[in-house]
């Protein structure tokens, strides 16, 4: 049953059209450990005790050595997603200059909600795209090349209308474009 669960889980992730973050796999770890435990229990029956003991010791050391960098709770490194969003929002706040603005991201599966949250805390509310509100400036955050910001297939960007790139910044691993309307 655990083997079937692991197979179906990985087979299902094959169809995911988004990045597979490490926390998505949390539900499957227990099944993998049950499978490993079953194999080791089977090996204990057929191997001499000394060989089985050395096999367990070797596998434990091997596992700990190659996975040590993943023990974030021991080495205290953070993903920094919240801090990243806060820094980008601070950077954007300076560039927005208190003027109305539109905001979008590229590619479309990369969302701007976390950045908008911190902008809202600074009383900088983007135009409502559901109401087709269009301002004189649009900021497009791109995290994957090529950045299709002009003639974009994304409705969130193309709804701004005929635009040209006014400025480009590289900040915190993003390319940030400021678009203005073409005259």
Check if the beta carbon of residue 106 is closer than 8 Å to that of residue 142: yes
* pLDDT category of residue 75 using cuts at 50, 70 and 90: low
Sign of CA dihedral 133, 94, 109, 79: negative
What's the pLDDT tens digit per position in 28-66?
888 888 888 898 899 999 989 999 899 999 999 998 888
Instruction: State the distance between the two ends of the chain, measured CA to CA, in whole angstroms.
Output: 64
Using the predicted structure, report yes or no on whether residue 93 has a pLDDT greater than 90.
yes
Q: What is the mean pLDDT of residues 66-88?
A: 78
Strands 137-142 and 174-181 come out as antiparallel
Range of lowest pLDDT (6-10, 73-77, 127-131, 178-182): 73-77
CA distances from residue 46 to 3, 37, 56, 84 in whole angstroms, order as listed: 22, 15, 14, 53
Task: State pTM to two decimals.
Answer: 0.60
Check if the beta carbon of residue 182 is closer than 8 Å to that of residue 162: yes
Q: How many residues does the chain have?
A: 183
Place of tokens 């073409």: 182
What's the pLDDT tens digit per position in 99-144?
999 999 988 778 889 999 999 999 999 999 888 899 999 999 999 8
CA atoms within 13 A on the CB side of 168: 9
- Nearest CA among 160, 154, 156 for reference residue 180: 160
Using the predicted structure, report yes or no on whether residue 165 has a pLDDT greater than 90.
yes
Q: Give pairs for 17-22: CB < 8 Å, separation 24+.
A: 17/109, 18/109
* pLDDT category of residue 95 using cuts at 50, 70 and 90: very high
């Amino acid at each position: 049953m655990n083997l079937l669960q692991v197979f179906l889980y990985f087979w299902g992730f094959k169809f995911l059209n988004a990045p597979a973050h490490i926390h998505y796999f949390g539900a499957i770890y227990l099944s993998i450990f049950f499978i490993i435990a079953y194999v080791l229990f089977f090996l204990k029956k057929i191997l001499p005790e000394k060989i089985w003991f050395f096999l367990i010791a070797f596998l434990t050391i091997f596992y700990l050595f190659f996975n040590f960098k993943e023990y974030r709770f021991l080495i205290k490194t953070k993903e920094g997603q919240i801090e990243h969003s806060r820094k980008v929002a601070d950077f954007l706040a300076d560039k927005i200059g208190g003027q109305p603005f539109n905001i979008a991201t590229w590619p479309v599966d990369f969302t701007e909600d976390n950045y908008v949250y911190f902008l809202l805390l600074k009383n900088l509310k983007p135009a409502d795209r559901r109401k087709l509100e269009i301002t004189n400036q649009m900021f497009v955050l791109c995290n994957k090349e090529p950045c299709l910001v002009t003639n974009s297939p994304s409705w969130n960007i193309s709804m701004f209308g005929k635009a040209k790139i006014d400025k480009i910044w590289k900040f915190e691993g993003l390319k940030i474009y400021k678009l203005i309307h073409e005259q």
